[in-house]
Amino acid sequence: MKNKVSDKLFLNGNKKDGKHYWLTPDSVYQFIEQRFGFRREDLYDPCPYPKPLEYDGLKEDWGQVCYVNPPFGVVDTNGKKIGATAWFRKAKEECQKGKVIFFVFPIHNWLVEAMVFCGASVIHMGNVKWLATEDGLPGKGCGSIAMFVLDGRHGCKPWEKQ
């Protein structure tokens, strides 16, 4: 079954503004530092931009404390579209290794339920103004964003201040 969104959207950019990918604004990293005590430079990013040529964050072992802003609709070398579910599964796997994961994503019932089932704390972040890779300018946002916090130090239970 073909996705209703054109596969070329991720290659050509959004029809309205031509933007491709959106980066995390400093305000999100500041929130993590103020609330949880982890500085931006302490966070492993399994979804870096620009992505090194041979790097695949779904196959690599992540760092002890991670920030995940997963790419939307990435197409792998076999032409398969990889979405949020693959990144969620990987985050859960890494959490089970005793790691702390900060995972941001638009609020969707299925993902909230799955993350809570896996022990994540859920923090409503509001309408985050992501930054365009093309010019660094903030976009309009995409609605309600959740930050899911998986704390593997406690068996992937909800976040508890150490």
Nearest Cα neighbor of 128 from 144, 117, 115 is 144
User: Which pair of tokens denotes residue 21?
Assistant: 């990918």
pTM metric for this prediction: 0.80
Coil, helix or strand for 27? Answer: helix
- With a CB cutoff of 8 Å and minimum separation 6, the contacts of 1 are none
Residue 141: strand pairing partners: none
Checking if the pLDDT of 35 tops 60, the result is: yes
- How confident is the model over 117-123, as a mean pLDDT? 80
**Percent of the chain residues past pLDDT 90, beyond the cut:** 37
pLDDT at 17: 56
Q: How far apart are CA 122 and CA 159, in angstroms?
A: 9
pLDDT tens for 46-99 read 999 888 888 999 999 999 999 999 886 665 666 666 777 888 889 999 999 999
